Structure 1
Amino acid sequence: MKIIQIKKNDEIKELNLPNNIMTAGFFDGVHLGHQELIKKSRNIADNLSLPLIVMTFWPYPKQFYTEVPTPYPVLTTQNDKYEIFDQLGVDMVIEIEFNSQIQKMEPQIFVDKYIKAAHVTKFIAGLDFTYGKKDIANMDLLPNYARGDFSVEKVPFTQLNGTKVSSSKIRSEILKGNFQSAKKLLGRSYITKGKVVTGEQIGRTLGFPTANVENDDDYLIPKDGVYFTKVQLDENEFWGITSVGNKPTYNGNRKYIETYILDFNHNIYGKELNIEWVYFERPQKKFESEKELIQEIKNDELNVRRYIQTK
C-alpha cells in the first residue's frame, strides 16, 4: 500500500494518478462501519479493475471547527489506521494536511482540488461525509459539485443490534469504561500505545513496580480509575492493573497512566507498551495512609487474578 502526504502547497493533480475508486473520511477507530465502507469500495474497485484510494486527513478536522483549535484525542493514530487499511486491501492512501485554508474552502474548490484532480471515477462515502467551508456540504450535494466528472455512491450507516456504529458512540463507551461494548463496535479490542518513561518510583517503593506510560500520540484515555488490562510487550502478553489519574493519595496535579504488570519485574524504560483495556475495576481513591493504599492494591491484584480465572 502506497501512502502519499499532501502538504499545504502540494497539488494532487501533479501526481498524475490513474483512474480510481475513492473513499474518504477521517476513519477514527476504523470501526465496523468504516470497515464495511472500505470493503464495499474494494469490491466496486475490483469489479471495475481499478485501484482503491482512501483519502484521509491529519490533523483531526474536528479540532478546527471549535473556537480555539486544540488537539483532539483519537481512537487510532494514523499509523494504526494505515495498518488496518492495508489489511482491508487499500491500494493507496492520500493523507491531506488539514488546515484553516481547507476549513474555509468553498465546497466546489475542495471537490475540484482533491477529488476531480485525483482522476476519481466513483466516489464512495458514508452519509455523514462533509467537506469544505463550515463543514456543511454533504453527500447529497456532491453530485452537483461533481458536474458529471465522477459518480457518487452513498453508503448507509452500519448498525449493530439497533445501534448506529460511530466513532462518537465508541468514545462514549470507552470513557465510561464499557470496553466490551466498544470492542463490539470496533470489531477488535481498544488498544493504546505509549513509551515507558521514568516515573516517581512510588509504586516500586510500595512493592508494586509500575510502568509509567506516555501518551504522546493523544489516544483517548478512559476516565480516571483502576482497570484490568492486557499488556503487549515485544512478542509477549501479560495481564496488568492500570491506574489512570493524578495519584490523589499524594496530591498529584497531573494525569498519569501507570501499569503494574503481573509476575513481571524487568527494566523496560524506553520500550513501547500496547495496553488493551479490558475491565473497569474501580474509581481512583484518596487513602489516608500508604498502608491503606498497599492493601487496596493487593485487593486489586487478587481481583484481577480472579477475573483471569473466568476467562
Structure 2
Amino acid sequence: MRMRVALDEARPLQETVMTLGSFDGLHLGHRLLLGRARALAKERGLMSGALTFPKPPGSYLGQGRRKKLILPPELKLSLLEEEVDLVVVADFPKLRRLKPEEFASLLKWRLRAAWVVVGEDYHFGLDRQGDVALLRELGERLGVQVEALPRLAISGKPVSSTAVREAIEAGKIEEARTLLGYPPLLVGPVVHGTGRGRELGFPTANLRISEELVTPPDGVYAVEVGLEGGPKTGVLYIGRRPTFDGKERSYEVYLFDFAGELYGRELKVHLLERLRGDLEFPDPQALRRQIEQDLREAQRFFASRPRTALT
C-alpha cells in the first residue's frame, strides 16, 4: 500500500530502502534514484521510501536563495507516491538543524533504513556539514548501507532541477522535456477573465498560475491539457496583452474541439512547443488574424507528431 506521512508520524512496519532529496520536478535523475530504491527494496523484501520536503531547501533560506518551483508541492508529492511505497514529508527548517550524527540516527531508528540511495553530491545536516563519505561512515556504525549514484547526464548535459528551470525560463521547451522525461507544465485553476478572447471569436480559459512556479517567456505555445475524456490539444498565450494595454501577466488557453465548462477546475497544461513571442498589434482585427495563423501553425505542429502521453 502506497502512503504519505509526516516525518514525526512515520512508523514503518518493516525495514526500508530510503532515497533522499527535494525531488523538485521529478526529473529523470530523480527517477533514477527512485528506481534504484525500488529495485533494492524488491530484491530484499523491504519497503521503498523517499524522504523529502514540500519545497526545495532554498525556499526556506531567505528571499535571495528562493527558487521557482517546477511542480506545485502537492502535485510533486502525489507523483512521488506513485514511485515508492512510503513518502515521508519533513519540515526542512527543523531537519536542517540536526547534526549529521542525529540525521543518520533518524534514518536508522525513525525510518528503519537498511539502505539509503542518494546522489553522489548529496549533503545533509547542520550547515550541509555531511556529505556522502560521512553518510557512509555513519551508516557503517549504524548498520545502514549507503549507495551513491553518479549524476545522470544526457548528451553531456547534467540533469538537475536547476537545468530544468533554466530551460523553461529560456523557452527551451524540448530541452526541458528531455531533462524531465515529460513535457513541462503549468498548473492552476480556471478563473474569470476579461472576455477578450471570446470577443475576438476564440473563447479561452484564463488560468491563475502561482508566482512560485517557474514559467516560460511571454509568447504563444502549442499545448496539451489533460481532461476526463482524454487530452485536448490547444494553444496557450502568456503575456500582458500589449494590444489592449494590459498590465498583469495573463495565461489563456484555447482548446481545439472543446465546448465544455472549465471555470473553477484545475488544469494541467503541458507545454509542447513555443510558436512565437508576444507581439503588439495596431488593432483587434490584426490580432485576430494573428491568432488564426497561430492556430493553423499549432494544428500543423500536432499533425506532424504523435499524441503525447500526459504525465
Q: Give the TM-score normalised by the residue count of structure 2.
A: 0.88
Q: Which runs of 5+ in 1 are unaligned?
A: none
Q: 1:11 to 1:233 in 2, by over 3 A?
A: closer
Say whether the 8 Å CA contact 2:240–2:247 is kept in structure 1: yes
Say whether the 8 Å CA contact 1:129–1:138 is kept in structure 2: yes
Say whether the 8 Å CA contact 1:11–1:113 is kept in structure 2: no
SS of structure 1 residue aligned to 2:6: strand
1:196 maps to 190
Shift of 1:275: 0.8
SS of structure 2 residue aligned to 1:295: helix
Residue 97 (1) aligns with residue 98 (2): no
2:246 maps to 252
Residue 269 (1) aligns with residue 263 (2): yes
- After superposition, give the CA deviation of every residue in 1:126-147 in whole Å (9 maximum; x if it has no partner): 1122222223422122133446
Picking from 82, 95, 111, the partner of 1:118 is 111
Identity percentage over the alignment?
28
Shift of 1:257: 1.0
Say whether the 8 Å CA contact 2:4–2:81 is kept in structure 1: no
1:176 maps to 170
Letter in 1 for 2:127: K
1:23 maps to 19
- After superposition, give the CA deviation of every residue in 1:37-80 in whole Å (9 maximum; x if it has no partner): 1111122122222111111112331212345575x432223443
Shift of 1:83: 4.4
2:291 maps to 297
Q: Which runs of 5+ in 2 are unaligned?
A: 306-311
1:2 maps to 3
2:42 maps to 46
Q: Distance in 2 between matches of 1:237 and 1:2?
A: 28
SS of structure 2 residue aligned to 1:195: strand
Q: 1:115 to 1:61 in 2, by over 3 A?
A: farther
Q: 1:112 to 1:251 in 2, by over 3 A?
A: farther
Q: 1:64 to 1:43 in 2, by over 3 A?
A: same
SS of structure 1 residue aligned to 2:133: coil
Picking from 202, 206, 209, the partner of 2:200 is 206
Q: 1:63 to 1:135 in 2, by over 3 A?
A: farther
Shift of 1:32: 1.4
Q: 1:105 to 1:231 in 2, by over 3 A?
A: same
- After superposition, give the CA deviation of every residue in 1:63-104 in whole Å (9 maximum; x if it has no partner): 12345575x43222344334443443x1111111222x4334
2:221 maps to 227
Q: Distance in 2 between matches of 1:124 and 1:266?
A: 46
Say whether the 8 Å CA contact 1:210–1:259 is kept in structure 2: yes
Q: Distance in 1 between matches of 2:186 and 2:229?
A: 16
1:81 maps to 76
Q: Distance in 2 between matches of 1:295 and 1:74?
A: 35
Q: Distance in 2 between matches of 1:238 and 1:303?
A: 16
2:60 maps to 64
SS of structure 1 residue aligned to 2:141: coil
SS of structure 1 residue aligned to 2:123: coil
Aligned alpha-carbon RMSD (Å)? 2.3
Letter in 2 for 1:77: P
Letter in 2 for 1:118: L
SS of structure 2 residue aligned to 1:236: coil
State the aligned residue count.
Answer: 303
Q: Distance in 2 between matches of 1:217 and 1:116?
A: 38
Say whether the 8 Å CA contact 1:111–1:146 is kept in structure 2: yes
